[in-house]
C-alpha cells in the first residue's frame, strides 16, 4: 500500500513509498483510510522537534487524524465490526494516517459522527480532543468565565471557540478583522484584529487563555489573566507534568528547566501556566460525536487535496494561512 513516510527528520524527509499493510494485533482495528487531516503537529514530528520525547524510529508513516471504514478487527475487539464508519486520532508512537490503511488500538477509535462526511470527520479528532481536554480536563471552564483563544481562524482555534461557547464561557479570540463575522457565528463574543490591535492593550480579567503561538504571544497572554488565571500553551515550553504524561518521569528536571522562565513570569503575576499535549481517547471522541451530530459543534475545513498531493497539503499548512483544517482524501477501494 502507499503511505507518506518520514524517512529522515527535516522538511524534505517526507516521501510517498510502498509499505506492507499494517499487522493487526488482538486489540486493533484495521481501517481503510478515506480521509486524513493535516495538523501543525505533523510538521513538528516530521522535523524531529519531539524526537527526544517521542521515540519514533524512521522510517514511519506520518498523520494524526483520520476517518475511514473498518476492514478487519483483532480477536479481542468487540465494539467495532467490518464495515463500520469510524474516526480516530491514533495514540503517539502508533500514528500513520497518511496511508491507505492503518491499524489503530480500539481504545482510540469511535464511530464517525453520522452527520459528517468522511472529509469533515477526518478534520475533527485531534482538534476536538485538544479543545475538550484543555478546556474541560485541564482548565475546568465554568459558565460565565472568560476564555481567550488565540488564532481563532485556524483548525484548533475555531474548535476551541465552539467548545468554550458550549461550556457557557465568554469567548474572545484573535484573528484578522475580515474573519470576525465567521468567528462570531462560531461563538466568539469578541474578535481582536491582531493586525491593528494588541490584545494585551484591550483585554483583562480572563480566567483562561489558550495559546497556540508561543513566544511573546504567550508572555503577553499571562498579563491578561486575572489573579489565579491559567494560560495553556500547545506549543511550549513544556512543564514537568508533560514528562509524566509521556511516561518518562526521569525527564521532569529537564522539563522544569525548559519551562522555568515562563513559570517564573506567571508566578510574578500571580497566575498559572500549563503546557498541554493532547492524548488519544476514543471514549471522548464518541461523546464529541454526539455534539457534532446535534449541531453543537461544526467542523471547519479550509480545503481538501487528493492523497497523492499530501506534500502539497503539508506545504499549504506550513504557510500558516489556512482558515480551518486541511484534509487529504483517498478514493474508496474494494
Mind giving me the DSSP string for 24-43?
Answer: --TTEEEEEEEEEEE-HHHH
**pLDDT given at position 333:** 60
By CB atoms closer than 10 A (0-12, 13-18, 19+), residue 74 is middle
pTM assigned to the model? 0.94
Q: Which of 31, 105, 94 is nearest to 66 (CA)?
A: 31
Task: Work out the number of other CB atoms within 10 angstroms of the CB of residue 297.
Answer: 24
Q: Within the chain, what is the greatest distance between any pair of CA atoms?
A: 61
CATH number corresponding to 2-124+299-329: 3.90.180.10
The CATH 3.40.50.720 portion of the chain extends over 127-275
**pLDDT given at position 259:** 77
CATH architecture of 127-275: 3-Layer(aba) Sandwich (3.40)
The residues, any chain, with a CB within 8 Å of residue 146's CB and separated by 6 or more, are 169, 170, 172, 205, 206, 207, 208
Residue keyed to cell 519531539? 50
Distance, CA of 97 to CA of 94 (rounded, Å)? 9
Distance, CA of 318 to CA of 316 (rounded, Å)? 5
The span from the first CA to the last CA of the chain, in angstroms, equals 13
Contact 175, 183 (CB under 8 A): yes
The CATH 3.90.180.10 portion of the chain extends over 2-124+299-329
Contact 240, 256 (CB under 8 A): yes
Query: H or E segment at 273?
Result: strand 272-275
Distance, CA of 334 to CA of 327 (rounded, Å)? 22
Cα-Cα-Cα-Cα dihedral sign, residues 161, 164, 168, 170 = negative
Provide the residue-wise pLDDT of the chain in tens; the chain has 334 residues.
999 999 999 999 999 999 999 999 999 999 999 999 999 999 999 999 888 888 899 999 999 999 999 999 999 999 999 999 999 999 999 999 999 999 999 999 999 999 999 999 999 999 999 999 999 999 999 999 999 999 999 999 999 999 999 999 999 999 999 999 999 999 999 999 999 999 999 999 999 999 999 999 999 999 999 999 999 999 878 877 777 777 777 778 877 777 789 999 999 999 999 999 999 999 999 999 999 999 999 999 999 999 999 999 999 999 887 889 999 999 876 5
**pLDDT given at position 320:** 81
Contact 207, 224 (CB under 8 A): no
Amino acid at each position: 500500500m502507499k503511505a507518506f513516510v518520514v524517512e529522515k527528520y527535516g522538511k524534505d524527509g517526507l516521501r510517498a513509498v510502498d509499505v506492507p499493510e499494517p499487522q493487526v494485533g488482538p486489540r486493533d482495528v484495521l481501517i481503510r483510510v478515506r480521509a486524513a487531516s493535516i495538523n501543525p503537529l505533523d510538521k513538528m514530528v516530521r522535523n524531529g522537534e519531539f524526537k527526544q520525547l517521542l521515540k519514533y524510529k524512521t522510517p514511519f508513516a506520518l498523520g494524526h487524524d483520520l476517518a475511514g471504514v473498518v476492514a478487519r478487527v483483532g480477536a479481542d475487539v468487540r465494539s467495532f465490526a467490518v464495515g463500520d464508519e469510524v474516526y480516530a486520532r491514533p495514540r503517539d508512537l502508533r500514528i500513520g494516517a497518511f496511508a491507505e490503511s492503518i491499524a489503530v488500538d480500539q481504545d482510540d477509535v469511535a464511530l464517525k459522527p453520522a452527520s459528517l462526511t468522511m472529509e469533515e470527520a477526518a478534520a475533527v479528532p485531534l482538534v476536538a480532543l485538544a479543545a475538550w481536554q484543555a478546556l474541560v480536563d485541564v482548565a475546568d471552564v465554568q459558565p460565565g468565565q472568560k476564555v481567550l483563544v488565540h488564532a481563532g481562524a485556524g483548525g484548533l482555534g475555531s474548535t476551541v471557540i465552539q467548545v468554550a461557547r458550549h461550556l457557557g464561557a465568554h469567548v474572545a479570540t484573535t484573528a484578522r478583522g475580515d474573519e470576525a463575522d465567521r468567528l462570531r457565528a462560531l461563538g466568539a463574543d469578541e474578535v481582536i484584529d491582531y493586525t491593528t490591535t494588541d490584545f494585551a492593550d484591550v483585554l483583562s480579567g480572563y480566567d483562561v487563555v489558550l495559546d497556540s503561538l508561543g513566544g511573546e504571544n504567550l508572555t503577553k497572554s499571562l498579563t491578561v489573566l486575572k489573579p489565579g488565571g491559567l494560560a495553556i500553551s500547545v506549543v511550549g515550553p513544556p512543564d514537568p507534568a508533560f514528562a509524566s504524561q509521556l511516561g518518562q518521569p526521569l525527564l521532569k528536571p529537564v522539563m522544569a528547566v525548559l519551562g522555568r522562565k515562563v513559570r517564573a513570569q506567571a508566578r510574578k503575576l500571580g497566575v498559572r501556566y500549563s503546557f498541554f499535549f493532547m492524548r488519544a481517547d476514543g471514549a471522548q471522541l464518541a461523546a464529541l460525536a454526539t455534539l457534532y451530530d446535534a449541531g453543537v459543534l461544526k467542523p471547519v475545513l479550509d480545503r481538501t487535496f487528493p492523497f497523492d498531493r499530501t506534500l502539497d497539503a503539508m506545504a499549504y499548512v506550513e504557510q500558516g494561512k489556512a482558515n480551518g483544517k486541511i484534509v487529504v482524501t483517498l478514493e474508496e477501494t474494494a
